[in-house]
């Protein structure tokens, strides 16, 4: 179907023109950036200029930027590599503290450390709006604390500097997954106090398959990948020069108009939130204060509905949104984020996420708000029939 309304930018967003231009330019380049000859040095120059641009955009030194294949790899390197490094320095540090609403890349990495490496995993609770209390950060034997900067389902923004400070008071490393935050919030690595920070390209207008882990210069991580020793000898593998260049171009573009972009998204969010308030049995999840939630995410529970039914009915109407629940092996599970916030399983299963980006317009919201009342009625009817 042509002319679809795309409201799933938190999953992935469109390439910005600057990224397309950078990728296209570099696709014709021949040379491995690890090679010593002229072609290799030319490729390396593109990588290092991109590294400098990404570092400057996020308040870091270029040597603190480790390019990865995306957010999942960066989270794995931060959680596993950070834990191993901290435990190697002090064997008594055997705990990892993560929030209950982390992305699965962090949740599963910590779970693996618990199952396979003997780590004790502490899950930090959140309040009804999805916030972590910095005072809840773990004990003296904690190796690493990881709290997502802004949640990918509900958009809750965490007090990252306070959490980093709390982690350092107990001698632990502090990591944050900044994937959702990086495109619309002023994410500054140095000012945050973090030791480790994850970002990725395809959530802010860059290509899929490239991201970065920011790691303090004095921090020695244990590698997760082994091979040629690229990227500070902690992330082996030949770098994808076109993707790295596209990532840097997208970062520059997102930083250039971030404030105006956030204002525009906030207006769209306010309009959708007001529209949802007119529908019976609909509840917006997450904070209400503008500075405590991402401007481009609206997560709502629809009483008596299954989220998959609403998503499929929206799809038939030419509108893309996502269920606020993870699907594993064909079985829809209630959102772990909403359950951690105290929602019931039924509420968690009824949650739909609408997320906005640079291509989202008021016309898109016109179409959504026009069809949504009927879709909710149909989804509730389907739910009533299935309960017989």
Q: Which residues are catalytic?
A: 327
Q: Are 248 and 227 in contact (CB under 8 A)?
A: no
Among candidates 280, 295, 290, 277, which has minimal Cα distance to 354? 295
Nearest to 161 by CA among 171, 147, 182: 147
- For 328, the enclosing helix (H) or strand (E) is strand 327-328
Nearest Cα neighbor of 273 from 262, 263, 283 is 283
Which of 74, 45, 94 lies closest to 177, judged by CA? 74
- Helix (H) or strand (E) run with residue 211 in it: strand 211-215
* Nearest to 362, CA basis, from 271, 254, 277, 262: 271
Which is nearest to 11 in space by CA: 310, 356, 314, 387? Answer: 356
Which tokens belong to 43? 């490729």
Q: Give the DSSP letter string of 156-199.
A: BBP-HHHHHHHHHHTT-EEEEE-TTTTTTS---HHHHT-SEEEE
CA dist., res. 292 & res. 132, Å (int): 12
Helix-strand-coil split of the chain, %, nearest 5: 45, 20, 40
CA distance linking residue 95 with residue 340, whole number of Å: 21
CA proximity to 71, closest of 114, 104, 48: 104
Give me the DSSP letters along 125-167: -B-TTSPBPGGG---TTEEEEE--SB-TTT-BBP-HHHHHHHH
């Amino acid at each position: 179907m042509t002319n679809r309304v795309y409201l799933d930018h938190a999953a992935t967003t469109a390439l910005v023109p600057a990224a397309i231009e950078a990728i296209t330019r570099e696709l014709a380049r021949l040379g491995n950036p690890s090679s010593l000859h002229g072609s290799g040095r030319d490729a390396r120059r593109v990588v290092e200029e991109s590294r400098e641009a990404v570092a400057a955009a996020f308040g870091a030194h270029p040597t603190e930027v480790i390019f990865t294949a995306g957010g999942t790899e960066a989270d794995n390197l931060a959680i596993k590599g950070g834990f191993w490094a901290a435990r190697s320095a002090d064997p008594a540090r055997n705990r990892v503290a993560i929030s209950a609403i982390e992305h699965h890349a962090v949740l599963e990495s910590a779970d693996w450390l618990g199952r396979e490496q003997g780590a004790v995993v502490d899950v930090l609770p959140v309040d009804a709006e999805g916030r972590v209390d910095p005072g809840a950060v773990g004990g003296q034997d904690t190796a690493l604390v990881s709290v997502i900067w802004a949640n990918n389902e509900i958009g809750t923004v965490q007090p990252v500097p306070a959490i980093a400070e709390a982690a350092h008071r107990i001698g632990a490393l502090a990591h944050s997954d900044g994937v959702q935050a990086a495109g619309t919030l002023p994410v500054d690595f140095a000012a945050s106090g973090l030791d480790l920070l994850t970002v990725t390209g395809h959530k802010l207008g860059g290509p899929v398959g490239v991201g970065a882990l920011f790691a303090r210069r004095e921090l020695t991580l244990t590698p997760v990948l082994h091979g040629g020793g690229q990227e500070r000898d902690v992330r082996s593998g030949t770098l994808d020069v076109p993707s790295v260049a596209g990532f840097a171009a997208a970062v520059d573009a997102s930083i250039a108009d971030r404030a105006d972009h956030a204002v525009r998204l906030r207006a769209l969010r306010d309009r959708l939130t007001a529209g949802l308030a007119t529908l019976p049995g609909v509840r917006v999840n997450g904070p209400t204060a503008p500075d405590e939630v991402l401007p481009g995410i609206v997560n709502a529970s629809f009483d008596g509905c299954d989220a998959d039914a609403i998503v499929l009915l929206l799809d038939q109407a030419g509108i893309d949104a996502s269920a606020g629940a993870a699907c594993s092996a064909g079985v829809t599970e209630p959102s772990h984020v909403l359950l951690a916030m105290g929602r019931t399983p039924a509420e968690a299963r009824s949650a739909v996420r609408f997320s906005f980006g640079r291509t989202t317009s008021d016309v898109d919201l016109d179409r959504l708000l026009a069809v949504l009342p009927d879709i909710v009625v149909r989804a509730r009817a389907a739910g009533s029939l299935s309960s017989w």
